[in-house]
Amino acid sequence: MAKQEDQLFVGIDIGGTKLHAVVADPRGNILGRARKKVGKDKRFDAVMARVEEVAQSACARASVELGAVAAVGVGAPSPILPDGTAVCAPNLGWTNVPVGAVIGARLERPCRVANDCDAGTLAETVFGAARGARSAVGLFMGTGLGGGIVIDGQLVSGDHHLAAEVGHMIVVREGRRCGCGHHGCLEAYASKTGMAARIVAAAKKGRKSQLTKRTDGKLPKLRAKLLSRAYQDRDALAVEVIDEAADFLGVGVGNLMTLLGPSVVVLGGGVMEAMGKLLLDRVRAAARAVTFPEAAFGHTRIELATLGDDVVALGAVALAMQDLTS
Ligand SMILES: [Zn+2]
C-alpha cells in the first residue's frame, strides 16, 4: 500500500447543472480535473453513469488509474445520511437515493458523501482560508445561501444529520418568504434570489436602474458579475440591495460567532467570489455589531474563501481522506 502522503483521492462535486471531479493528493494539490454537464436526463441512474465518466476523465487527465486511488468523496446538493443516502435533492428531483453505495460500486473504491456546502466548508478548513482552524463556519452566497459547520475538525450536522442549514436561520420574524416555505430566513435576504425579489419589486414601482432593465417583471437571472459592475458604478438600487444583503450576511455571521465561537468564518459562493473584497468590511462591521460578547469578535477571523470552483470537490477529497485516517 502507498505511503499516506503518496495516496491520491478523487473528489466529485454533483451540482444541479454540472459535475466536477478532481484527483488530488493529501495536501490538496490537484493533479487533474474534469467537468461534465448533468444533462437533461436527471434520473438518478443516468446521472450516476455520467459521474463515473467524469471521475474516469479526471483520472485520465492526472495519468492515474482509478484502481490506484485510495478513496472517493462526493458532495451533493442534499442532506446526506451517514450511509451516503441523499435524502432530497430538489434541483435533481431525487428523494432517498443511495449515492454513496452506487458510486462506490461503480468505481470500486471506498466512497463517502456529504452535503455540498458541508463539503465546501470542510475544504476551506483543511486546504483553504481556515486551514489549521479547529472550528470554522462556511457561508456560501450564490443563488441561495448554503453553509456548514466544522467543530474540532469534524462536520456537524446534528443527531438526525439534517442540521447546519445556516441559510435557513430566521433573522426576521414573519419576514420575507424563503424558497423553503418559511418566512424571514437569512437566505431570503442574503442571496441572489433574495436580491432579485427586491429588484423586481423596485422595477414594478418604476425605479430605473442597471438592474431593472433586464427584469420584464419576472425574477431576473442575476449574474454576480452584473451585480458587481452595477455596485461599482454606484447604481443606487444596486448599492441599496447589495448593501442590505451584506448587512444581513453580517447578522448571520454574528449569530454564528455568538453561538459557536469558531476561529474562522469563511465567506464564499458566486457573489462573494465576484465582489467579496468590496463587501468584506461591511459584513465584518455588521457581524461585530451583533456578536456577544463583543470581545469574542476579536477571536474570530472573517475571511473570503480561497478555493473557487474546486471547493466542493476538494471538500469531498478531505472527507474521503478523513475516513481513511480516522
Ligand atoms: Zn428558508
Domain that holds residue 140: 133-306
303 CA from centroid of ligand 1 (Å): 24
220 CA from centroid of ligand 1 (Å): 20
Q: Which amino acid is present at 34?
A: A
- As for how many domains the chain has, the answer is 2
Chain-centroid distance of CA 177 in Å reads 21
Instruction: Return phi, psi of residue 310, to 5°.
Output: -85, 0
- pLDDT value at residue 160: 93
- pLDDT value at residue 3: 62
142 and 241: one domain? yes
Tell me how many degrees the CA angle 297-302-304 measures, rounded to the nearest 5: 175
Do 9 and 73 form a contact (C-beta atoms < 8 A)? yes
Q: Which residues, in sequence order, are CB contacts of 42 under 8 Å at separation 6+?
A: 92, 93, 94
- pLDDT value at residue 219: 63
What percent of the chain has pLDDT above 90?
88
pLDDT band at 213 (very low <50, low <70, confident <90, very high): confident
241 CA from centroid of ligand 1 (Å): 19
211 and 291: one domain? yes
137 and 119: one domain? no
Q: Which amino acid is present at 161?
A: H
- pLDDT value at residue 2: 55
167 CA from centroid of ligand 1 (Å): 7
180 CA from centroid of ligand 1 (Å): 4
139 and 281: one domain? yes
Model confidence at 94: pLDDT above 90: yes
261 and 315: one domain? no
Model confidence at 5: pLDDT above 90: no
Distance CA 142, CA 277 (A): 16
Chain-centroid distance of CA 310 in Å reads 11
The mean pLDDT of the chain is 94
Model confidence at 233: pLDDT above 70: yes
Residue-wise DSSP of 31-53: EEEEEEE--S---HHHHHHHHHH
Q: Which amino acid is present at 200?
A: V
198 CA from centroid of ligand 1 (Å): 16
- pLDDT value at residue 214: 65
13 and 95: one domain? yes
203 CA from centroid of ligand 1 (Å): 24
- pLDDT value at residue 133: 97
154 and 262: one domain? yes
185 CA from centroid of ligand 1 (Å): 5
Distance CA 174, CA 68 (A): 53
Report the sign of the C-alpha dihedral through residues 181, 182, 184, 188, in that order: negative
Do 17 and 6 form a contact (C-beta atoms < 8 A)? no
224 and 93: one domain? no
Model confidence at 1: pLDDT above 70: no
115 and 158: one domain? no
Distance CA 261, CA 255 (A): 10
Q: Which of 43-57, 84-98, 125-139, 206-220 has the lowest mean pLDDT?
A: 206-220
Model confidence at 134: pLDDT above 60: yes
270 and 287: one domain? yes
159 and 279: one domain? yes
- pLDDT value at residue 6: 85
186 CA from centroid of ligand 1 (Å): 7
Q: Identify the CA nearest to 263 among candidates 85, 125, 115, 134.
A: 134
Task: Supply the CATH number for residue 99's domain.
Answer: 3.30.420.40
pLDDT band at 220 (very low <50, low <70, confident <90, very high): low
What average pLDDT score do residues 187-213 get? 91
Sheet architecture: strand order including 111-115: 30-37, 18-24, 9-14, 71-76, 111-115
The partner residues of 310 in beta bridges, in order of sequence, read: none
> Residue length, the chain?
326
188 CA from centroid of ligand 1 (Å): 7
pLDDT band at 215 (very low <50, low <70, confident <90, very high): low
179 CA from centroid of ligand 1 (Å): 6
Residue with cell 445561501: 145
Model confidence at 74: pLDDT above 80: yes
147 and 99: one domain? no
141 CA from centroid of ligand 1 (Å): 14
What average pLDDT score do residues 38-48 get? 96
pLDDT tens for residues 140-174?
A: 999 999 999 999 999 999 999 999 999 999 999 99
272 CA from centroid of ligand 1 (Å): 20
Model pTM?
A: 0.95
Distance CA 263, CA 14 (A): 29
Do 127 and 314 form a contact (C-beta atoms < 8 A)? yes
- pLDDT value at residue 126: 98
- pLDDT value at residue 216: 60
Model confidence at 263: pLDDT above 90: yes
Distance CA 21, CA 52 (A): 10
